[in-house]
Structure 1
Amino acid sequence: MLQPATLQFLKDLQKHNNKPWFDENRHRYDAAKTDFLQFTDEVIKVFGKKDANIASLTARECIFRINRDIRFSKDKTPYKRNLAVSLNKGGKKSVLAGYYFHLEPGNNSFIGGGVWQPMPADLQKVRQEIDYNLKDFQKILNAKNFKTIYGGLSEEEGIALSRVPKGYEADNPAAEYLKLKSFITMTNISDKELTDKGLLKQTVQAFETIQPLINFLNEALEA
């Protein structure tokens, strides 16, 4: 579970997203970060027994910075509204598929994973793998636990092409998947669940459910 104070810090940061306030409250940020790191290390410890690829990771090498890159953004607020961690074979900068935990108060938190906007060559590898092994891919997505927890792959705006990519026929049985530019899935977590004792078990179960998807994607990416 995460501490209520961690959520409260992020809620306050949303209202006071400026450097003077952050500097005055850095001790609260440090406490929130430590809380999130400890939770993540627990997840790695438990889930690492199920997926050896992330077992050697540490939370510190997987957590994202809270500072925003505002160089090319109209939004000049200096800090993110969330804490997030990505568990990938090779670390958070790896191009491989992995697991993701996003902490953002206001019932905007979620657990998920997959691969986000891979480079063209890697995207082609994934599409080719789906085209060649469509039945295996569909079996993963149609598994009972996957459907129950995630529903399916993300269909958010802009995540798919309007047409089947070049090199594939429009009537390809895998057309709906071949159009995708990212292969991710997620399930929301309420603020109440974040501070519940069952959060660790819930997170590990969610990661275990998408492990077959992560393995499928990484088999393609590592080919």
Structure 2
Amino acid sequence: MSSQSLLNQPFQFLNKLEDNNNREWFNKNKGLYLEAHQQIIEFADLLLSELNKTDVIETPTGKKSLYRIYRDVRFSKDKTPYSLYFGGGYRRATAERRGGYYFHLEPGNTYVGGGFWGPNSQDMMHIRKHLQQEPERLREIIQSNDFKKNFGSLRGERLKRAPKGFDVDDPAIDLLRYKQYWVRHEFDMKDVMKPNFHLSIIKQFHHMRPFFDYMSEILTTDLNGESII
């Protein structure tokens, strides 16, 4: 079965859900959701199988990678109960491999992302000290033609000022101000609906590896390059 057929039914369901985002309609059409969800599980399994050929993934199954379609509306002004996309993420395995892969499947807004969304304070300080000492290697990665072609630029929330303990005039201040480090690649719908689209996602995950591998190196070595794991 082609990946085009795997996404066709889920996208049809999402288009209907967009016009009927309420519990009454969803409950009446629960069967359509379950069929679409099963297609997404199969798609996620395809991604996981391909990804494990070149990386080591902690997430055990495609089903385990998926996010729930039910929205938590407790603290949101938007009270619509269901998400209008299918998404999921894969965690890299062991302390030597850091970062995570994310996929977002939505009609007209399909993309993949990867990186470090919420480093704890200890990891954040460790990253900043490394980048302060040697910003050139990360700059080389994010300024490469391959990186710019596929991801544009490094993304993530940034501090308005210098982080505590660092000088606003530090030569690496543009990198030190990040609170997250991640990348994103967006797809045209004509590409999304092509056969074997999952391989296009895998290709972008592969393009993330130089970034992932260097950030993993930072997080697993001290400032002298000695292993800390």
For 1:18 and 1:56, how far apart are their aligned partners in 2? 31
- TM-score, normalised on structure 2? 0.85
Q: Does 2:58 align with 1:26?
A: no
For 1:108 and 1:202, how far apart are their aligned partners in 2? 15
Give the secondary-structure state (helix, strand or coil) at the position aligned to 1:46: helix
Deviations 1:103-123 (A, max 9, x none): 111x21111111113333332
1:84 counterpart residue number: 87
1:132–1:58 distance in 2 versus 1, CA, 3 Å: farther
> Per-residue deviation at 1:85?
0.8
Amino acid in structure 1 at the alignment position of 2:47: V
Whether contact under 8 Å (2:59, 2:65) holds in the other structure is no
Q: Does 2:15 align with 1:17?
A: no
1:98 counterpart residue number: 100
1:5 counterpart residue number: 9
> Per-residue deviation at 1:131?
2.2
Deviations 1:125-169 (A, max 9, x none): 2222322331221222123322111111126xxx21111211112
Equivalences, count: 214
For 2:49 and 2:26, how far apart are their aligned partners in 1? 31
Give the secondary-structure state (helix, strand or coil) at the position aligned to 1:164: coil
For 1:197 and 1:30, how far apart are their aligned partners in 2? 23
Match of 2:208 among 186, 207, 210: 210
Q: Does 2:72 align with 1:69?
A: yes
1:147 counterpart residue number: 148
- TM-score, normalised on structure 1? 0.87
Where structure 1 has 5 or more consecutive residues not aligned to the other structure, the ranges are none
Whether contact under 8 Å (1:48, 1:55) holds in the other structure is no
2:52 counterpart residue number: 48
Q: Which protein has the larger Cα radius of gyration, Structure 1 or Structure 2?
A: 2
Whether contact under 8 Å (1:47, 1:55) holds in the other structure is no
Whether contact under 8 Å (2:112, 2:184) holds in the other structure is yes
Could you say what the CA RMSD is over the residues aligned between the two structures, in angstroms? Answer: 2.0
For 1:173 and 1:121, how far apart are their aligned partners in 2? 22
2:113 counterpart residue number: 112
